[in-house]
Structure 1
Amino acid sequence: MKNIRTSAKLSHSYTGHCLRETVIQIMIGAGYLARHIMFMSGHRNEASTRSYNRGCNITQKKSMSNTLSALTEPTCKSEKNPARQVSVSHIFERANRKTSPKNADTGL
Structure 2
Amino acid sequence: MSKIQESLDLSTPKGLQDKVFLDVLTFYCNRGRENIRAMKAEDFTIKVDESGRRYVQMRDFLTKNNRENVIQEADAGLMFEMPELGERCPVATFEKYVAKLNPQNPWMWQRPKDVSKKELAQDSPWFDNAPLGINTIGNKLKNLSQKAGCKLTYTNHCLRATSITTLDACGYEARDIQSVSGHKSADSLKHYSKTSQTKLKIMSESLATCLYSDVNKDNNKNQELDDQESTCRPSTVVAWPSQNAPPDPVP
The residue type paired with residue 204 of structure 2 is S
Q: Does 1:5 align with 2:145?
A: yes
Residue 125 of structure 2: aligned partner: none
Q: 1:38 aligned to 152, 163, 178, which one? A: 178
Residue 19 of structure 1: aligned partner: 159
Distance 1:9 1:66 in 2: 37
- 1:23, distance to aligned residue in structure 2 (A): 2.2
Q: Would you say the 8 A contact 1:38–1:46 is kept in 2?
A: yes
What SS does the corresponding residue of 1:77 show, helix, strand or coil? Answer: coil
What SS does the corresponding residue of 2:192 show, helix, strand or coil? Answer: coil
Distance 1:36 1:68 in 2: 30
Distance 1:45 1:33 in 2: 12
Q: Does 1:77 align with 2:235?
A: no
How does the TM-score come out when normalised to structure 1?
0.54
Give the RMSD, CA atoms, in angstroms. Answer: 2.9
The residue type paired with residue 159 of structure 2 is L
The residue type paired with residue 38 of structure 1 is Q
What SS does the corresponding residue of 2:143 show, helix, strand or coil? Answer: helix
- 1:5, distance to aligned residue in structure 2 (A): 0.2
In the superposition, relative to structure 1, how do residues 67 and 36 fare at CA in structure 2: closer, same or farther (>3 Å)? closer
How does the TM-score come out when normalised to structure 2?
0.27
Identity %: 32
| Structure 2 residues without counterparts, runs of 5 or longer | 1-140, 221-236, 244-251
Distance 1:45 1:69 in 2: 35
Deviations 1:52-103 (A, max 9, x none): 212x33442121233466659845114xx6xx4x9xxx8xxxxxxxxxxxxx
| Structure 1 residues without counterparts, runs of 5 or longer | 91-108
For these two proteins, the number of residue pairs brought into alignment is: 81
In the superposition, relative to structure 1, how do residues 68 and 8 fare at CA in structure 2: closer, same or farther (>3 Å)? farther
Larger fraction in helix: 1
Q: Would you say the 8 A contact 1:34–1:50 is kept in 2?
A: no
In the superposition, relative to structure 1, how do residues 69 and 46 fare at CA in structure 2: closer, same or farther (>3 Å)? closer
Distance 1:32 1:52 in 2: 13
Tell me: higher relative CO, structure 1 or 2? Use CA pairs within 8 A at least 6 residues apart. Answer: 2
What SS does the corresponding residue of 2:151 show, helix, strand or coil? Answer: coil
Q: Does 1:61 align with 2:200?
A: yes
After the TM superposition, which segments of 4 or more aligned residues of structure 1 sit over 6 Å from their partners?
A: none
Distance 2:142 2:191 in 1: 27
Larger fraction in strand: 2
Q: Would you say the 8 A contact 2:142–2:156 is kept in 1?
A: no
Deviations 1:6-56 (A, max 9, x none): 3431132211222222321221111111111112112222221233212x3
